[in-house]
Structure 1
């Protein structure tokens, strides 16, 4: 493949990935605003740091979307780790 074609393909892949990120960020943001408007309690994780339903829900949306779009790329996320959910082997 000529260099210009490779560059165009990479740019296309980048644009597609950015589109996925944008969609997931907007979906997660809507979930956060829904929780904000409904009101939510603040819980404490085992390290005493705060966590809300908005944190959990937005992470769930983002992770599900990333794992669906890019199943070969491991995802590690704060609330999953704090909940003791196993993370993929990154070695």
Structure 2
């Protein structure tokens, strides 16, 4: 999966420069071609962040096991929430 993000990091400047240069060579003005190239680069970034979002090791193993089998501790699949009920549980703010 890390190779995907390596490709995305290479495609961002390639899309920005390549699309801008191509549109400029076709006859579009530079001030109109740059936003189009930036939009294509932004689409690559959005795809990498939201469509194929990076996963940490716990999420990757949970996503890989779709059988729904209980974990070795018998507690079932992890939901990713911290123990104690929520993000502010045990923070000491009363």
| TM superposition score category, shorter chain reference | 0.3 to 0.5
Q: Higher Cα Rg: structure 1 or 2? A: 2
- Larger % of strand: which? 1
TM-score (norm 1): 0.39
TM-score normalised to structure 2 length? 0.38
- Of the two structures, which has the highest relative contact order with CA contacts closer than 8 Å and spacing of 6 or more? 1
Larger proportion of helix: 1
